[in-house]
Amino acid sequence: MNLLSGAVRVLARPAAFQQRAHASSLTRGKTAAALASSVYRRSLADGSLFVSRVPEKPTTPKPNQLPPPLKPTVEKKYHLTEADQAEMRRLREEDPAHWTQKRLAEKFGCSRMFVALVAPCPTGRRAALESDLELVREKHGYKRRLIGLNRQRRRQLW
């Protein structure tokens, strides 16, 4: 009986207290001037007043108002000549197991995506990688295979 009466007391707060708590959570840390400046009013053609907290036109923040970037910005380099690209292709064809995308990107100072565009993986190497992956997939259990099959079906629906 004691627990029930305590629960009733908690739920039966005065309405004024609940309104005050709700209003204070909306205006926490804001002055009256700040609240007034964040409200946008406009008169409509029929004489009514349209009030909104969302600005009519989106505001673009100034550079000093933006948070710092997560990664440092790097300018793109267009420093590889046709001779460098030919060298990249030659190395990739010569020994694709040693000259991977990552190694070529580090050697020539470019992105792995650029290496993939300029010197794609030879078909023999790609087939060897896929057969290795197939050997790993054969060891998967029922659930893992089902997950992979469902993923392939979803990709086909794209």
Closest Cα to residue 79, out of 57, 104, 102, 110?
Answer: 110
The tens digit of pLDDT for each residue in 101-117 reads 999 999 999 999 999 99
pLDDT value at position 73? 85
Residue whose tokens read 């007034």: 36
CA separation (Å) from 89 to 47, 82, 97? 72, 11, 13
Contact status, residue 140 vs residue 148, Cβ threshold 8 Å = yes
User: Does the reported pTM lie above 0.85?
Assistant: no
60-99 exposure pattern, b = at least 16 Cβ within 10 A, e = fewer: eeeeeeeeeeeeeeeeeeeeeeeeebebbeebbeeebeeb
Burial class (CB in 10 A: 0-12, 13-18, 19+), 149: exposed
Largest CA distance in the chain: 89
- Taking the C-alpha atoms of residue 89 and residue 106, their distance in angstroms, rounded to an integer, is 15
For residue 7, the model assigns a pLDDT of 47
pLDDT, average across residues 11-16 = 52
Environment class of 119 (CB within 10 Å of its CB; exposed 0-12, middle 13-18, buried 19+): buried
Separation of alpha carbons 72 and 131, rounded Å: 39
Contacts of 79 (CB under 8 A, 6+ apart): 109
**Structure confidence at residue 74 (pLDDT):** 80
Average pLDDT, the chain: 82
Checking if the pLDDT of 61 tops 90, the result is: no
109 vs 16, higher pLDDT: 109
pLDDT value, residue 32: 65
Contacts 24+ apart (CB under 8 A), 74-78: 77/109, 77/110
Residue 137 pLDDT greater than 80, yes or no: yes
Q: Is the pLDDT assigned to residue 6 strictly greater than 50?
A: no
